[in-house]
Each structure stands twice: as structure tokens, then as C-alpha cells.
Amino acid sequence: MNECLRVSPISAVRGSVSLPGSKSISNRALLLSALSDGVTEVRNLLVAEDTEMMLGALRGLGVGFEQNEDGTIVKVTGCGGAFPVKKADLFLGNAGTAMRPLASSLAFSGGEYTLDGVARMRERPIAHLVEALNALGAKISYLNEAGFPPIKIEPAFHIRGNLAHIRGDVSSQFLSGLLMAAPLLAPEEGLRIRVDGELISSPYVSLTCRLMEKFGVTVKTTEKDFLVPRARYKSPGVFEVEADASSASYFLALGALVGPLKVEGVGQDSVQGDAAFVEYLAKMGASVTRGENWIKTAPNPYAKKLHGIDADVRTIPDAAMTLAAIAPMCDGETTLRGIGSWRVKETDRIAAMEKELSKVGCKVESGEDWIRITPPEKLQSATFDTYKDHRMAMCMSLIAAGGVPVFINDPKCVAKTFPDYFTRLSTVVEN
């Protein structure tokens, strides 16, 4: 039987909290370090299931690395773009930040590989990426259901042409994966990657390009095109991972509801798109101050509650879930738009959020890419299901800031990105 965790009513939070490294940056940095010439020391690495999956895959591909005792510092010996092991079966759990980039990086590495994951990963689409790679000359096939992992990669060495097309409206990870692989497989004139349709979660793509630049490769961008030169990645020597802005959102939200609370490790100079989460808190009436490496939030001194908003949040898809979670404690309804990507995450997050927020008395409506939450007159205590989704667990814990106890089923699912979330939460709650 799964564990059920009681979170007592939270009337106030105080002090400060430091956060683990960004998942998105950690896994990108590990892969780029592996593909580089030289040794890279990655610091403040996130220690969680998703990074363990990437490290396990790199080990299986023959990439050498050393970790310190707590796993937050990893020295990666780069393989210069050529993975030593040419035949491997890789299990990637539910880590989309490992599955999509590795599929791209292995497609033209001249080896034979299978990439698989947990049951939910087998439900997460990968067809648009596979189609783009196969159109370039890769030999990738599906081992079960077409369009979904597990996939088999057979040896391919050279791409056809200098133009790749990729859909941008399902997951930005498809484009990010192709971008990171592109310098190593591009023809002499470079590889042009064209985005067909709308590009969702564009800040994550910008993040990819900024990290590639730190490893010596500059991507030229226009509105729809990305021109990637043929180049070798070069180790920057030391790479420092920012604190995770998505993880920061839970504490920033708590600060806005019952703070003040200071979050350290991510600030006004952040490269992460989810750092813009605080701008939405400000629109809801929260007090927000930012420094170079910290953000502090507090309730509006002139209002009893935050107020609901109607906002397009496609640029902060992960952190936007936190806005949905605090909507029950706001005045007026909250409508979040541009969240179609929630449907293909660790669970169908729109459906999950609708079901769980209904338990506390909210009226919840939703469509293919939107959700509308009307808070109840009186918040109810509830037992929340988490759907093996780390963000559902962390989001639902915030309901306790409405003055009611909440119960979280399977709280350990937070191990995917933030294993000690509930411990860190307890350190800032005022009893």
C-alpha cells in the first residue's frame, strides 16, 4: 500500500530556502559534457531520478565520470562526440530530458541501441522527433506501438541534406534534442532546423542554445529557423547548475500566500524560463523582490488574498501548475491558457488537476489546452492522488496554506526531481 503523508495547515512561512539544481539544466549539462572534448566538472547537479537515468545511460554508453559523496559534483570525461559503446539497451525511466536528447545524439552514432522507459514513458509521444531524424537518414523504428517508446536505433553515419523539419507544438524537447545533436552531424555548411507550426515552451529551447554556447557552439536563430554549425563541443572546465526555477515556484507561491519567504539559488539573472513565474504572482497581487541570486515573495500588504488571473502561460508550462494549485486560495477565478503540453507529461496534468482541485470544493472546467478554476466559499480538506507525478504531489501540498490539512498519496514520487521537498518545506513552516 502506498504511503499517505499528512501536511498540517500552514498559517505562515518565514526565513529562506535553498534549492537543488535545475533538472533541465542538469541533464543537458551532463549530455553536453559527455559529447565534448575534455573533462567537465558539473557542480550543483540535481540528485534525483531523472539525472540518475541520464548518468546510467551515459555509463552504459561508455562515458567515464566520477561523483562526489553526495552526488552534486560530477566530473565527466567527454568522448568527443563519439560514444565508445556501439550496442546498448538503455532504460530511461520517465525522464523526457534523457529520452529525447539521447535519441537524437545516438541516431547517427553508428551503433545499435534500444531506448525504453516506464509504462508512462511508453505513452509519451516521440513520433515527431523520430520522423525528423528518419527524414535525415536515421534508422529508427518502434518496438511496440508506433509513435511511442520503446524505440530501436540501427547504425547510421551520415545525414541527408542540410535542412531538418521538426514539429514544435507537442514538446520543445524534440527541438532541444535535435539542436544538441546537430553540431556533430551537420554537413560542412551547417544544419538548418525549421520549426513547423507553433513552438511551445520556447524558453526551454533558448536555454538549450545558451548552454550549447557555454560548450563552444553558437546557434544562429530566426523566427522559425535554427542554423547550427558543424562543430565539436569543448568543455568549459567547470559548469555550475542553477537552482531549479520550477522547484522554486512552490516556495515562491507559499511566500506570496503566507510569507514572506526568500528563495536562494535563482534570481533576476536566471537563464530559466520558469523564473518568470514570479511575474504572474505579481499580477495576482503578491509582493516580489529580486536580487542577482535570490527572489523574495510576500503577501500584498493591502489585500487579504491574492486575486485570480486570466493568462497565457505557455512559456512556463511546469511552473504554471503551481498557479493552478494556489487558485483555490485566491479571490475570483483563474484561467490558464496555452497548457496543451500538460496532456503529455508524467500524467495528463489537466485532467489530474481538474479531478484533484474538485475535491477541495473548486468548480473546475477545462479544454484541450486550458483550465478554469473557481475557488470555493470554504476550502475543504482532501486526500490527493498524485498519479506518479512529482509536480502533482508538490502542487497539492500548497493547499495546506489555505488553512486545512491535506493528505498526499505516494509522496515519494517527488524523488523524480526533488527528493527532499517535504523536508525542506518543513524547515520554513512556522508552527
**What's the whole-number average pLDDT of the chain?**
96
Asked whether the predicted pLDDT for residue 213 surpasses 70, the reply is yes
Asked if the domains 4-20+243-428 and 23-226 are classified in one and the same CATH topology, the answer is yes
* Beta bridge mates, 409: 4
Rounded CA-CA distance 349/392 in Å is: 8
Q: In three state form, how does the secondary structure of 91-157 look?
A: ECCCCHHHHHHHHHHHCCCCCEEEEECCCCHHHCCCHHHHHHHHHCCCEEEECCCCCCCCEEEECCC
Asked if 269 is an active-site residue, the reply is: no
The pLDDT of residue 251 is 98
* Grid coordinates given for 336: 490558464
Contact 355, 362 (CB under 8 A): no
pLDDT tens-digit readout, 178-197: 999 999 999 999 999 999 98
Asked whether the predicted pLDDT for residue 145 surpasses 90, the reply is yes
SS3 (DSSP) at 392:
helix
Asked whether the predicted pLDDT for residue 356 surpasses 70, the reply is yes
pLDDT tens-digit readout, 366-407: 999 999 999 999 999 999 999 999 999 999 999 999 999 999
**Helix axis angle, 349-358 to 390-397, nearest 10°:** 30
* Grid coordinates given for 100: 529525447
The pLDDT of residue 16 is 97
Rounded CA-CA distance 74/90 in Å is: 20
Contact 30, 424 (CB under 8 A): no
Contact 416, 49 (CB under 8 A): yes
Average pLDDT over residues 269-287: 96
E strands of 216-325, at which residues?
220-221, 225-228, 238-240, 261-264, 287-290, 294-298, 310-312
The candidate with the shortest Cα–Cα distance to 177, out of 27, 51, 345, 43, is: 27
Of 170 and 16, the structure prediction assigns the larger pLDDT to 16
Q: What is the CATH number of domain 23-226?
A: 3.65.10.10
List the Cα angle 227/125/198 in 5-degree steps.
45
Rounded CA-CA distance 341/273 in Å is: 15
> CB count, 10 Å around CB of 431?
7
Contact 326, 299 (CB under 8 A): no
The pLDDT of residue 171 is 86
Rounded CA-CA distance 266/288 in Å is: 14
**Helix axis angle, 127-135 to 96-106, nearest 10°:** 10
Rounded CA-CA distance 209/163 in Å is: 18
Rounded CA-CA distance 7/377 in Å is: 22
Asked whether the predicted pLDDT for residue 431 surpasses 90, the reply is no
Domain ranges of the chain: 4-20+243-428, 23-226
Asked whether the predicted pLDDT for residue 198 surpasses 90, the reply is no
The pLDDT of residue 169 is 85
The pLDDT of residue 1 is 53
Q: What is the pTM of this model?
A: 0.93
* Grid coordinates given for 318: 511546469
Rounded CA-CA distance 76/157 in Å is: 25
Write down the CATH superfamily of domain 4-20+243-428.
Answer: Enolpyruvate transferase domain (3.65.10.10)
- Going by pLDDT thresholds of 50, 70 and 90, the confidence category of residue 224 is confident
Point out the catalytic residue in the list 274, 318, 385, 410.
Answer: 318
The residue count of the chain comes to 431
* Grid coordinates given for 54: 541520464
pLDDT tens-digit readout, 172-183: 899 999 999 999
Average pLDDT over residues 89-107: 97
